[in-house]
Amino acid sequence: MAAAWAMIPIQPPAASSIAEGVDKLYYLLTGITLFFTVLIFSIIFYFMVKYRRRSEDEVAPETHTSMVLELSWTIIPSLICVVLFVWASALYVRNSRPPTASTEIFVIGKQWMWHIQHPEGPREIDELHVPVGVPIKVTATSQDVIHDFYIPAFRVKKDVLPGRYTSLWFQPTETGTFHLFCAQYCGTSHSQMIGWVYVMEPKDYADWLAGGEKTESMAQQGERLFTQFGCDSCHVSDGTGRGPSLAGVYGKPEQLAGGETRVVDESLIRQAILVPNSIHVPGRQPIMPTYQGQLNEEQILQLIAYVKSLGSQERNAK
């Protein structure tokens, strides 16, 4: 019998730096749930036996509402909730902020597969190779409906939306093979939109990157698109073109019309390419045409990678 019970799994592998904190909170919550469930069940059972009706004409004595009791079972649950909220929120805020030096991976979800692209060039479908012990930031978008990028062993999950970037990060702590699921219903083969995450030793990962067919990096592919679509005719690097120079803009705060300041990130660059006249930079005419419908999600990501590489070159030069 004991062997039969052992067949039932009760815990998923915990293979990221995020998992431990989430599991601790999970155990605390399980403890609270067990405590109150057992408490209520025992009281009910005790009363059920002790105060069972002994004769049909039995009259129950009157009991009066007790303010002390009412207040205590209002206030104690409130305090527990406050503790849980603070704990869970602090952990969540920490878990949603990627460390600045994260390795980046780009994901495009489409019915019903995961396209994964490494900045160095290699592409994968329904497989994700990552090195152990390194923080990894995933930036994701969808070509069609809403998907959800979910790796249970890492305790991370984020919806992947059309027309927008969402991101998550994790730092694998163990090598091995783990499930990758789509956790937002996306149509007929939703349950087959699954894959594997391979966590490798950094050396093995480097070998894996170097192996396979040689491909250009995302930034190089983006650079070719930059020329092919004529972006370079306006965005000249020395700033003399009709558009602003893009060297070093990534990651810098940009003053927009209306007093708003936004840091130039993936989302803003995407917006600038697809809906250019929604972004007003003071002193510039809104003359850039839209590239909506001309570029697919993968090409937009490559262009972004190129713009980002311009920024890092400048920073390197300094």
Instruction: Tell me: does residue 152 bind another protein (CB under 8 A).
Output: yes
The residue from 129, 158, 235, 308 that contacts another protein (CB under 8 A) is: 158
The residue from 74, 100, 240, 316 that contacts another protein (CB under 8 A) is: 74
Residues 168-227 that bind another protein (CB under 8 A): 179, 181-192, 194
Residues 225-254 that bind another protein (CB under 8 A): 253
Angle at 35 between CA 34 and CA 40, to 5 degrees: 100
Q: What is the Cα–Cα distance from 186 to 33, expressed in whole angstroms?
A: 33
Per-residue contact string for residues 4-43; x = within reach of another protein by CB under 8 A: ---xxxxxx--------xx--xx--x--xx--xx--xx-x
The residue from 148, 170, 195, 305 that contacts another protein (CB under 8 A) is: 148
Residues 257-316 that bind another protein (CB under 8 A): 261-263, 265, 267-268, 275, 277-278, 292
**Could you give the count of Cα atoms lying within 13 Å of 281 in the half-sphere of its Cβ?**
16
Nearest residue to 108 (alpha-carbon basis) of 295, 277, 252 = 295
173-178 long-range contacts, CB within 8 A, separation 24+: 173/15, 173/16, 173/17, 173/19, 173/132, 173/133, 174/13, 174/15, 174/132, 174/199, 175/132, 175/199, 175/200, 175/201, 176/13, 176/15, 178/13, 178/15, 178/151, 178/152, 178/153, 178/154
As measured in angstroms, the least distance from the Cβ of 161 to another protein is 5
Size of residue set near another protein by CB under 8 A = 98
As measured in angstroms, the least distance from the Cβ of 308 to another protein is 14
Q: What is the Cα–Cα distance from 106 to 123, expressed in whole angstroms?
A: 10
Residues 109-138 that bind another protein (CB under 8 A): 111
Give the binding range for another protein (CB under 8 A) out of 161-169, 201-209, 217-225, 232-240: 161-169
Q: How far is CA 312 from CA 97, 136, 251, 298, in A?
A: 21, 18, 10, 21
As measured in angstroms, the least distance from the Cβ of 164 to another protein is 7
Give the binding range for another protein (CB under 8 A) out of 44-52, 115-123, 205-213, 222-230: 44-52
As measured in angstroms, the least distance from the Cβ of 79 to another protein is 10
